[in-house]
Amino acid sequence: MNNRLKAAFLLVLLANVLKKSPVYLLLYFLAFALFSRREWKSLPVLVGLAISLGFLAELIGTRLCLPFGCYEYVNLQPQLFGVALFVPLAWAIFGSVAYLAASFLFPGKVSRLLFASLLMMVFDLAIDPLMTSWNAWVWKTSTSINWFGIPWTNYLGWFLVSLLIFYLYERLSSPSICSCLKRFGPAIYLLETFTFALYAPASVKTPTLIALALSFLLLVPLTVGRLRNEGRFGSNGG
């Protein structure tokens, strides 16, 4: 592993340690800049799509209640046209982490896109209860089936918007991620869900812990199997 990649992983680790600080965003984007130099050259395309489509989805969501349901931003600042600017940047960070993990586990396009979108939805099982507990935004939609007060429509919306972002990314670029980076995807994802649970206040600790447990159930068996296959193929090749 080269020094640039080591520095990028250190930035990701520091970002998670400082997750409650705005520095979190800066550290992640610095890490992405290092990744995109060689190991993931098309990463800026994914980041750009996630920011632009994430902002558009949030803009439509706050006005037309689609595709997430009806909600409005309150304490999360700064805002542009009623959308907190942190949120499109978060779409880029979480989307990149989810796609990286899925890319390691699923070589096939359809399964990769679907699994990456599922991972995004699991992220939001932790994110939304956390942010609503801080009054970052307030939900107006209420459904009988909900996740700690969050309407189920929100999670369907997250899945669909994520799927659109990942689909367009693969259509508009030629994603090629170095195996030296891909294999760390599941670990980075689990680090994210772990720090969500670690920093969550007591009032929303339960949903973040459930999201963490789901992350382990989804990723650990698949990662172990993938690593075993890589070892088997490597030994055959030798």
What residue segments make up the domains of the chain, in order of their start? Answer: 42-237
Contact present, 211 and 196 (Cβ < 8 Å): yes
The per-residue pLDDT for 121 is: 98
- Per-residue confidence at 238, pLDDT binned at 50, 70, 90? very low
The per-residue pLDDT for 1 is: 80
First to last CA, the chain: 21
Q: What is the pTM of this model?
A: 0.95
- Which run of H or E residues covers position 81? none
3-state helix, strand, coil in the chain (%, to 5): 70, 5, 20
Question: What are the angstrom distances between the C-alpha of 74 and each of 5, 79, 158?
Answer: 38, 9, 20
For the chain, the average pLDDT equals 95
